[in-house]
């Protein structure tokens, strides 16, 4: 990543992707109330992205990392081929999954330093099963994580927090993932209030998010957890740093094309990353600019800003290396 950032700077490229959120389908085998992805009509939910379209989009934009999301990617019959083609091109791939199909499909994938599972884990058993609205999902995810680790895969997790979380529930789930399951790294995010999500009541505001993470991170825990975020982004989550959104750094490519402006919001689509960059008014988005962005502290908008600020500062670079 450091080499990639240096090359962008040498090429005087102002806007470039760090990670692409690739959505090769919208269908899922769960129906979480907070989800804004599965609300499309049936004929859209049945569509699958072609391998060549997925690979072509990543090659065109040049991103070094890809996060394959959805929907549930493991429903896609060619997901292992999309993954294999991206790995062949030395892209780092995170395969996001709710883990219901993970153990059954594990043998379609091979461990690689360029590949990591990213398992959706919203809390401990009761909390996670309530969040995804299906009993037994937590146990299946834990079993799949153990099987993947035993098979030599790198396993990360992705946890979304809502208003019914407290510093205690944040600590409990991160302690469990860090110490008991010993996953390689963990990602965390306050939930974003998608327009289309059926549950609109449980999304955190900015002040609530800062209070939640500020209290959860206290007593040195933040340093102990293997969090897959830059120190500056974690500062941002707990209110110690303020950034502007740079959504162009983590763009989203789906069945409809490049989504404007980000993974969370849709103001139309572009056919290429170049068109997305050149025809989007980036200054119109972010908190204080667009009311839909007001409560957003998601990593797809603010982690790129944190990463870019880190690489511009020797002190922050050393802190990131140490963390």
Counting contacts by CB under 6 A, is residue 285 touching ligand SF4? yes
Counting contacts by CB under 6 A, is residue 232 touching ligand SF4? no
For residues 289 and 9, what is the distance between their CA atoms, to the nearest angstrom?
28
Nearer to ligand SF4, 114 or 124 (CB): 124
For residues 173 and 166, what is the distance between their CA atoms, to the nearest angstrom?
11
Among 224, 285, 205, which residue's Cα sits nearest to residue 234? 224
Nearer to ligand SF4, 212 or 247 (CB): 247
**Residue closest to ligand SF4 when measured from CB atoms:** 301
Counting contacts by CB under 6 A, is residue 237 touching ligand SF4? no
Q: Between residue 131 and residue 160, which ones bind ligand SF4 under the rule CB under 6 A?
A: 132
Nearer to ligand SF4, 28 or 95 (CB): 28
How many CA atoms lie within 13 Å of 237's alpha carbon, on the beta-carbon side?
26
Counting contacts by CB under 6 A, is residue 58 touching ligand SF4? no
Which member of 247, 276, 307, 308 binds ligand SF4 (CB under 6 A)?
247
Measured torsion, CA atoms of residues 19, 261, 162, 155, in degrees rounded to the nearest 10: -10
Counting contacts by CB under 6 A, is residue 206 touching ligand SF4? no
Nearer to ligand SF4, 98 or 169 (CB): 98
For residues 9 and 181, what is the distance between their CA atoms, to the nearest angstrom?
39
Nearer to ligand SF4, 31 or 90 (CB): 31
Q: What are the DSSP E strand ranges found in the chain?
A: 19-22, 65-68, 92-97, 115-120, 154-161, 185-190, 252-254, 257-261, 266-270
Counting contacts by CB under 6 A, is residue 73 touching ligand SF4? no
For residues 17 and 300, what is the distance between their CA atoms, to the nearest angstrom?
11
Pairing of strands 257-261, 266-270: antiparallel
Nearer to ligand SF4, 146 or 292 (CB): 292
Counting contacts by CB under 6 A, is residue 248 touching ligand SF4? no
Counting contacts by CB under 6 A, is residue 295 touching ligand SF4? no
Among 98, 42, 52, 57, which residue's Cα sits nearest to residue 74? 98
Cβ 27 to ligand SF4 shortest distance, Å? 9
Nearer to ligand SF4, 25 or 183 (CB): 25
Pairing of strands 154-161, 266-270: unpaired
For residues 236 and 303, what is the distance between their CA atoms, to the nearest angstrom?
9
Gyration radius of the chain's alpha carbons:
18
Counting contacts by CB under 6 A, is residue 296 touching ligand SF4? yes
Counting contacts by CB under 6 A, is residue 25 touching ligand SF4? no
Which member of 99, 264, 306, 320 binds ligand SF4 (CB under 6 A)?
264
Chain residues in the site for ligand SF4 (CB under 6 A): 28, 30-32, 35, 37-38, 70-72, 98, 120, 132, 245, 247, 261-262, 264-265, 285-287, 293, 296, 298, 300-301
């Amino acid at each position: 990543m450091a080499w990639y950032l240096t090359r962008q700077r040498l090429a005087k490229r102002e806007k470039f992707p760090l990670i692409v959120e690739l959505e090769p389908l919208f269908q899922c085998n769960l129906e979480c109330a907070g989800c804004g992805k599965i609300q499309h009509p049936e004929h859209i939910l049945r569509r699958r992205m072609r391998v060549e379209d997925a690979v072509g989009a990543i090659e065109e934009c040049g991103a070094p990392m890809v996060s394959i999301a959805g929907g549930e990617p493991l429903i896609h019959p060619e997901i292992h081929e999309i993954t294999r083609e991206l790995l062949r091109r030395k892209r780092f791939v995170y395969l996001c999954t709710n883990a219901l199909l993970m153990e059954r499909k594990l043998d379609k994938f091979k461990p690689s330093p360029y590949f990591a599972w990213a398992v959706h884990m919203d809390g401990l058993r009761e909390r996670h099963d309530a969040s995804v609205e299906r009993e037994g999902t937590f146990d299946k995810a834990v079993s799949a994580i153990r099987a993947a680790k035993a098979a030599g895969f790198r396993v990360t997790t992705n946890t979304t927090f809502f208003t019914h979380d407290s510093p205690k529930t944040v600590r409990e789930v991160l302690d469990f993932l860090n110490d008991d399951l010993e996953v390689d790294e963990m990602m965390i995010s306050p939930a974003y209030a998608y327009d289309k999500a059926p549950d609109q009541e449980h999304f955190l505001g900015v002040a609530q998010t800062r209070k939640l993470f500020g209290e959860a991170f206290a007593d040195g825990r933040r340093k102990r957890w293997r969090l897959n975020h830059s120190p500056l982004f974690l500062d941002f989550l707990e209110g110690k740093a303020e950034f502007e959104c740079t959504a162009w750094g983590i763009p989203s490519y789906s069945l409809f094309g490049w989504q404007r402006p980000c993974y969370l919001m849709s103001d139309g689509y572009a056919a290429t990353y170049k068109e997305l960059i050149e025809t989007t008014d980036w200054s119109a988005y972010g908190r204080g600019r667009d009311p839909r962005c007001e409560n957003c502290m998601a990593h797809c908008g603010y982690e790129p800003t944190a990463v870019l600020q880190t690489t511009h500062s020797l002190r922050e670079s050393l802190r990131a290396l140490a963390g």
